[in-house]
Structure 1
């Protein structure tokens, strides 16, 4: 495996099949409960990488201004993706459908969000198409709606975008703005069985450097490896994740209630974690959006709310939440750009129907690296 030395440590410049367990684990941590099942994403990527070989990672700083960067992702309810896994071929076909429609040649692929499946699906396409993958993503975490990315704040258009399903339906959509892209693509995704593969937010290298969060995939892999190493040494993997992300443990206890439903293309619901400090309620729409302890809000979107198995440190997605599961709830700071007024309008609690302002992990005086480190 090729590697470079940066900041006194060895950093791999490619992703091979043997990296995927750690990378998918770390991606599920940053996915804040959403972004798809890490196991499903890992299996898809392993198949592609074993067939086509490793994928080269390219840092944002290395992108030429005129690069043609094409993100690819899954859209829909993570609960559906567990039972309706896309084919490897479908993922590459979605990228090709968009670039052929536009008459452009892609030079790099990218992740539009960090998440268990949406950090690995681009690896599948990159391996198939023989293209390098940008070491970064559009959020530094996961959010439920298509327009909820930093490129939207940089006025990068979500469309034209391609959308495809496992039946062979493929289309290209053009909308007047990114909110309309979410609305119309969501309707198509529901018609396609509540999950689809999309390719959108095509951008230049210069735009990618401005709007993406750098180093996400490297962070995912580092997180996954640290959890495994700390667990092997009988340490505390939950504390290790909090340390890695500059966050804190909010609550520890047992899941005593889960109300989850798939509606309008999302996994929506609430979960209660009961512990010595009281009852912590989590509210989610694919991703965890609000954590409140006995009615007091501890952390809310856009900061990260992460569930880990209390013993193993393994991330727990919203579709995997079960009664009796012993979990720890962490809060971690989001990329600082998510706390701008325009970003709060896009992803703040009031957008999701919660009548309060954002509550940050460390309060208004401190900003952290979160997924943007």
Structure 2
């Protein structure tokens, strides 16, 4: 989204950004309630955050994204400390011998869109309106900056016990594997600062306008919630989010397990309304990866598969999915970077063990006559 002036992020903006980011989290990215509380507390204590576009960065700017790594359900128990990102950013500055000019989210999600706002507030630095996914993905190497040749390291990490360090690895996949092992050892959650980059890398390979998009989607969902008497509410939601309707149903079973610092699971639904008599399933690894209806695949990663409340259209993260919950399953087109050969190799269905070629969600919808 181009053309907005430099502006501030306060409590009102955080509420909308968190709501929209939860939708783009595609079932993962952490609990928006937890993330929102962390960001709001930081802004109330330290003041609003300045949001800038990549083109507003000085050419010599050094940008340090930050995030939470691990199973999103763990953060519900552990939370985040106010000094977490000061510790990380100090480590990065000491290692790199560079001053951090700004931070940014690495993905969209209820937690990982919020933590960089908190970090920016506490550090007194700007937040860049860009990320590396345009959604959420489960592994560290799954960012557009990997396609651009950027390194995930030096990666600084810390946990709530005070363990901290900096790693330098030979590839982004090695960084994922080693950092994931550390995450397992310390209890399933790690705060990280990674993919430190130049202004040029940020401009050329980032998914631009993601914070603004989250705010726009949050406002759209909130406006729909305020006008539920409208009989075309579902159509309004799809139009405002550029979404494709996949299925409407009631959750009848949820299979979950935490393995290797990931949340794995499958949601089984029975159709309601126009989908009565049909069945659907959604498989996930932190984020939703495939939606099937009556055994036919209707959407896969890298497109977004999102569950929203049938009545309020509020996003439903996977840790909040429960038996009896009535939801609408919506498909959203992914960022164009993921539809390249390199992008599909990195985050396409076959990487996740799904035996199908990637077909854009809008094409699958046309096949179904949507």
Q: Give the structure-2-normalised TM-score.
A: 0.94
Q: Distance in 2 between matches of 1:190 and 1:59?
A: 35
Go from structure 1 to structure 2 and tell me whether the alpha carbon gap of 1:287 and 1:365 turns closer, same or farther (over 3 Å shift).
closer
SS of 1:131 mapped into structure 2:
coil
Q: Which residue of 1 aligns with 2:226?
A: 232
Q: Which residue of 2 aligns with 1:47?
A: 41
Equivalent of residue 270 in structure 2, options 271, 274, 286:
274
The answer to whether the Cα contact below 8 Å between 2:224 and 2:237 also exists between their aligned partners in 1 is no
Q: Which residue of 1 aligns with 2:15?
A: 21
Q: Which residue of 1 aligns with 2:129?
A: 135
SS of 1:109 mapped into structure 2:
coil
* 1:53-92 alignment, distance < 5 Å: 53-92=47-86
The answer to whether the Cα contact below 8 Å between 1:55 and 1:132 also exists between their aligned partners in 2 is yes
Pairwise CA distance, 1:365: 12
Q: Which residue of 1 aligns with 2:354?
A: 354
Q: Distance in 1 between matches of 2:281 and 2:271?
A: 11
Pairwise CA distance, 1:224: 0.9
The answer to whether the Cα contact below 8 Å between 2:6 and 2:53 also exists between their aligned partners in 1 is no
Q: Distance in 2 between matches of 1:132 and 1:237?
A: 37
Q: Which residue of 2 aligns with 1:284?
A: 284
Q: Which residue of 2 aligns with 1:185?
A: 179
The answer to whether the Cα contact below 8 Å between 2:243 and 2:333 also exists between their aligned partners in 1 is yes
List per-residue Cα deviations over 1:337-368 (Å, max 9, x = no partner): 101111111101111111111132112899xx
Q: Which residue of 2 aligns with 1:244?
A: 240
SS of 1:108 mapped into structure 2:
coil
Pairwise CA distance, 1:283: 0.5
Go from structure 1 to structure 2 and tell me whether the alpha carbon gap of 1:240 and 1:88 turns closer, same or farther (over 3 Å shift).
farther
Go from structure 1 to structure 2 and tell me whether the alpha carbon gap of 1:70 and 1:17 turns closer, same or farther (over 3 Å shift).
same
Say yes or no: does 1:207 pair with 2:215: no
Q: Which residue of 2 aligns with 1:260?
A: 256
Larger mean CA deviation between 96-105 and 183-192 belongs to 96-105
The answer to whether the Cα contact below 8 Å between 1:92 and 1:124 also exists between their aligned partners in 2 is no
Pairwise CA distance, 1:72: 0.2
The answer to whether the Cα contact below 8 Å between 1:15 and 1:55 also exists between their aligned partners in 2 is yes
SS of 1:47 mapped into structure 2:
helix
Q: Which residue of 2 aligns with 1:371?
A: none
Pairwise CA distance, 1:98: 1.5
Q: Distance in 2 between matches of 1:125 and 1:346?
A: 29
SS of 1:306 mapped into structure 2:
strand
Pairwise CA distance, 1:64: 2.2
Go from structure 1 to structure 2 and tell me whether the alpha carbon gap of 1:257 and 1:186 turns closer, same or farther (over 3 Å shift).
same
Go from structure 1 to structure 2 and tell me whether the alpha carbon gap of 1:312 and 1:121 turns closer, same or farther (over 3 Å shift).
same
Pairwise CA distance, 1:52: 0.5
SS of 2:162 mapped into structure 1:
coil
* 1:168-179 alignment, distance < 5 Å: 168-179=162-173
User: How many pairs were matched up?
Assistant: 360
Larger mean CA deviation between 90-99 and 42-51 belongs to 90-99
Q: Which residue of 2 aligns with 1:117?
A: 111
Q: Which residue of 2 aligns with 1:319?
A: 319
The answer to whether the Cα contact below 8 Å between 2:298 and 2:365 also exists between their aligned partners in 1 is no
Larger mean CA deviation between 270-279 and 108-117 belongs to 270-279
Could you say what the CA RMSD is over the residues aligned between the two structures, in angstroms?
Answer: 1.8
List per-residue Cα deviations over 1:249-307 (Å, max 9, x = no partner): 11111011100111100000100121143111100000000001011000000001011
Pairwise CA distance, 1:226: 1.4
Unaligned runs of 5+ in 1: 367-373
SS of 1:356 mapped into structure 2:
coil
Q: Distance in 2 between matches of 1:247 and 1:114?
A: 17
Q: Distance in 2 between matches of 1:46 and 1:181?
A: 31
Go from structure 1 to structure 2 and tell me whether the alpha carbon gap of 1:15 and 1:271 turns closer, same or farther (over 3 Å shift).
same
Go from structure 1 to structure 2 and tell me whether the alpha carbon gap of 1:64 and 1:241 turns closer, same or farther (over 3 Å shift).
farther
